[in-house]
Amino acid sequence: MRVPENLEREPLVDALFEVRLSEATSIADILPGILFQDYGSQAKITRLPAAELPRDVRASDQKLQYAPIVRIELEWYLVSVGDRSVMINCKLPYPKWKNFKAEILGILARIASLNVASNVERYSLKYINLIQAPTIPEQVSKINMSIRLGDVNVSNDHANIQVHHKENDIIHILSTVVGAQGNLANGQAVFGTILDIDSIREFDPVEFVAFEKGLEPGLEVLRQANKQNFFACLTQDAIDEMGPTYA
Query: Does residue 64 fall inside a structural domain?
Result: no
| Number of separate domains in the chain | 1
pLDDT, position 88: 97
Residue 203 burial class via C-beta count within 10 angstroms: exposed 0-12, middle 13-18, buried 19 and up: exposed
Query: Does residue 161 fall inside a structural domain?
Result: yes
Q: What is the pLDDT of residues 144-179, one digit of tens each?
A: 988 888 988 888 888 899 999 999 999 999 999 999
234 pLDDT above the threshold of 80: yes
Query: Does residue 90 fall inside a structural domain?
Result: no
Query: Does residue 62 fall inside a structural domain?
Result: no
Residues 82, 58: Cα–Cα separation, whole Å: 10
Query: Does residue 26 fall inside a structural domain?
Result: no
Residues 62, 229: Cα–Cα separation, whole Å: 29
Instruction: Spell out a b/e string for 183-202, using b for 16 or more CB atoms within 10 Å of the CB, else e.
Output: eeeeeeeebbbbbbbbbbbe
Q: At 216, is the secondary structure helix, strand, or coil?
A: helix
Q: What is the pLDDT of residues 118-148, one digit of tens each?
A: 999 999 999 999 999 999 999 999 999 888 8
pLDDT, position 71: 96
pLDDT, position 80: 97
108 pLDDT above the threshold of 90: yes
Q: At 115, is the secondary structure helix, strand, or coil?
A: coil
DSSP-assigned states of every residue in 36-93: HHHHGGG-EEEE-GGGGS-HHHHHH-TTTTT-EEEEEE-SSEEEEEESSEEEEEEPSS
1 pLDDT above the threshold of 90: no
**Range 177-191 average pLDDT:** 80
Residues 111, 103: Cα–Cα separation, whole Å: 12
pLDDT, position 17: 98
Query: Does residue 98 fall inside a structural domain?
Result: no
- Whether 43 and 36 have beta carbons less than 8 Å apart is answered as yes
The domain containing residue 130 runs over which residues? Answer: 6-16+124-245
Query: Does residue 110 fall inside a structural domain?
Result: no
